[in-house]
Amino acid sequence: MCGVVAVLGKRNASHLVIEGLKKLEYRGYDSAGIASVSQGLLQKIKSEGKLVNLINKLDRSTKDKLYFDNSIALGHTRWATHGNISLENAHPLTSYNKIAVVHNGIIENYQILKEDLISLGYNFKSQTDTEVLPHLFMKYINLGNDLLDAGRLVLKEIKGAFAFVAMSVDFPDQLFVSRNSSPLAIGLGDKANFVGSDAHSIDHLTQRIIYLEDGDHALVKINNINIFDKNYKKVKRKIINIQAEIGLVTKGGYKHFMEKEIFEQPVVLPQTTSSFVRNNSEITIDLDKLGFKNKKSLIICAAGTSYYAGMIGKYWIEQIADIPVTVDLASEYRYRKPSIFGQSSMLVISQSGESLDTLMALRYGKELGLKTNAIINVEGSTIDREVDYSLYTRVGPEIGVASTKSFTSQLVILFIIAACLGKKFNNLKTLQIQKKCHYMNMLPNAIVKMLELESQIKIIAQNIKNSKSVIFLGRGLLYPLALEGALKLKEISYIHAEGFAAGEMKHGPIALIEDDVPVIMFLLSDGNEDKSISNLQEAYSRGAKIILIADKKCIVKASFAHLKVEIPHFENEFQSLLSPILMSIPAQLLAYYVAKERGTDVDQPRNLAKSVTVE
Ligand code: F6R
């Protein structure tokens, strides 16, 4: 989603801003732009599409010396919300070529502000909500305010979730920044300061970071930064030393980040496990911190793939620990009146730690008096900073928009939580706990074996690449995986795909079956496989192309399937308990190879963003 970077006090600031924007590319965007003040004039360049278009334009202008000398610049990658993808709507948005603003989020009351500004004679060139910001700055600066006071007056007028940076030719050594719900970090340099949507976007410039808190605004100058809270009280925010620059994460010889992230799962998942399992046998999660002093029920909130991880978590926690779990879409939880009866604790799951829906659900959970926990990958993210207790997946940056290693690592933590709760509340014996820890240790090798199915999955990808629609089926622990498999396929290959609980087919979705529609089922012999095979048979009888990814026993039973992938042999209990993690691998590979066949932009699929910072 939209990314913001600003540099103050360094020569060639616009090029440094571009370096930062490159690091935000993975979030997903559809246009980009930068603005700087050079020789007293505001210069701006924008382009549609990828950053490379902006860089080419910038290079041409640099040759013309337009941008050669600037020490203040801001830039933006835009993920369209209000207004189509166009040069006019790309940021920075300006007012009379004197003020430039880059913004992430939505100004909810922009329509009324726009009408007021138009009545005052301001001319709007874009369809964006953002354009009210530069005009409001202009209005207040024209009334004699400095940048800080103008910014404060602007904040009084606007509503919504936002993070923005404003710059004016009249104050060429200052940036005004503010955040409300959307993330924003300030980087401290030597006679220079920086602003970015996250720490990573400015870690080529500094490792000293301040995260603004909600409602904060700040005046950033070359030698100092003054931060104020929502009551205009000057405040000090903690300076955090982030890890030395990790620079641009590379693809390590793979064609796409997604491919790399799928194949590195055997290596990174032990990093997840090792934070919570000691001596290969002892779980170190603090249940008191999790809010489980007593047996209570749990509410899990998340979005997208993280939500599906939550669904699997529910199955595990109920099965292993006998604790009731409710799973809710974060975007729903916030806007209904959920009952917290019997609950003491909320668990949110978010790879980025920035999904606004999930953040809002978390805040709401706090308001309701719940103890809040989060499974997150990005340390220092907004959710990490606001939650009571964070459990880190530690799988390194995930750059591909489609979540892969994050999903499996979230599952690892959920499984460990289930085991830990099982020990305390469901009489799980030490030996049983040790076995579960052992299973975690077995996972990397098992995933290596699952990855060896690659060539067979490629054949299936070839087979379904031209399908208009694909159906995924699963039962029990593999039902949420069917939903995840469908999500993965649709988001990167753009083929319409839906996942259903196998038993639900006959209650409606079976109407979708026609000749040659691929129906993909993940199946393991767990005692219920015959039921699922019957469901498959029903689809087969109506002409569907049946694709079965299953263990040997199921493959033999469902010999009618058109295409079959037999998964390697694993110990029974390990295979059935950890089936969602094991079967994630073929689901991810399938989506990846279909997308590759179709030539889509695998890592940055159309319309999608890695960090979804609007509601
Ligand atoms: C799908 C995907 C999204 C995210 C969702 C939540 O592959 O990546 O569905 O899972 O946007 O994101 P996080 O986990 O960052 O809150």
Q: For residue range 526-551, what is the model confidence (pLDDT) as tens digits? A: 888 999 999 999 999 999 999 999 99
Ligand 1 mean position, distance from CA 353 (Å): 10
Dihedral (CA of 261, 571, 564, 313) sign: negative
Written as six digits, the tokens of 172 are 């060429």
Q: What's residue 530's pLDDT?
A: 93
Average pLDDT over residues 326-331: 96
Mean pLDDT of the chain: 93
Q: Which of 27, 305, 493 to mutate to test the pocket of ligand 1 (most atoms within 8 A of CB)?
A: 305
Measure the CA–CA gap between 157 and 110, rounded to whole angstroms. 10
Q: Which of 1, 19, 18, 29 is nearest to 54 (CA)?
A: 18
Say yes or no to pLDDT of 470 above 90: yes
CA 260/CA 251 separation, integer angstroms: 6
Whole-number CA gyration radius for the chain: 26
- Separation of alpha carbons 31 and 48, rounded Å: 4
Q: Is the pLDDT of residue 168 over 90?
A: yes
Distance CA 206, CA 54 (A): 24
Cβ-contact 472, 580 below 8 angstroms? no
Is pLDDT at 373 greater than 60 in this prediction? yes
Residue 368 Cα to ligand 1 middle (Å): 25
Q: Given a cut of 80, is residue 63 above it in pLDDT?
A: no
Which whole number is the average pLDDT over 127-131? 96
Question: Can you give the pLDDT at residue 69?
Answer: 64
362 band by pLDDT with thresholds 50, 70 and 90? very high
DSSP state of 534: H
Give dist(CA 149, CA 131) in Å, integer: 19
Q: Is the CB of 351 under 6 A from ligand 1?
A: yes
Does 247 score more than 60 pLDDT? no
Question: pLDDT at position 140, please?
Answer: 98
The answer to whether residues 49 and 31 touch, using CB atoms and an 8 Å cutoff, is yes
pLDDT of 245 above 80: no
- Residues in the chain, total: 615
- Determine which residue's CA is closest to atom 11 belonging to ligand 1: 304
Give yes or no for residue 197 CB within 6 A of ligand 1: no
User: DSSP states of 36-58 as a string?
Assistant: EEETTEEEEEEEESSHHHHHHHH
Ligand 1 centre to CA of 204 (Å) is 26
pLDDT over threshold 60, residue 65: no
pLDDT of 615 > 90? The answer is no
- Ligand 1 contact, 331 CB (< 6 A): no
What pLDDT is attached to residue 596?
97
Asked if 386 and 364 count as a contact pair (C-beta separation under 8 A), the reply is no
Residue 279 has pLDDT above 60, yes or no: yes
Q: How far apart are CA 211 and CA 546, in angstroms?
A: 51
Most informative mutation of 352, 398, 487, 490 for ligand 1 (most atoms within 8 A of CB): 352
374 lines ligand 1 (CB under 6 A): no
CA–CA gap between residue 311 and residue 501 (Å, rounded): 13
Q: Please indicate whether residue 355, judged by its CB atom, sits closer than 6 Å to ligand 1.
A: yes
Q: Does the C-beta of 356 come closer than 6 Å to ligand 1?
A: no
Q: Which pLDDT band holds residue 68 (cuts at 50, 70, 90)?
A: low
pLDDT of amino acid 248: 57
Query: Catalytic annotation on 554?
Result: no
Say what angle helices 478-493 and 579-598 make with each other, to 10 degrees: 20
* pLDDT recorded at residue 67: 53
437: annotated active-site residue: no
Whole-structure pTM value? 0.83
pLDDT at residue 609 tops 70? yes
Q: What is the mean pLDDT of residues 303-312?
A: 98
- Ligand 1 neighbourhood includes 410 CB (under 6 angstroms): no
Distance between Cα 613 and ligand 1 center (Å):
11
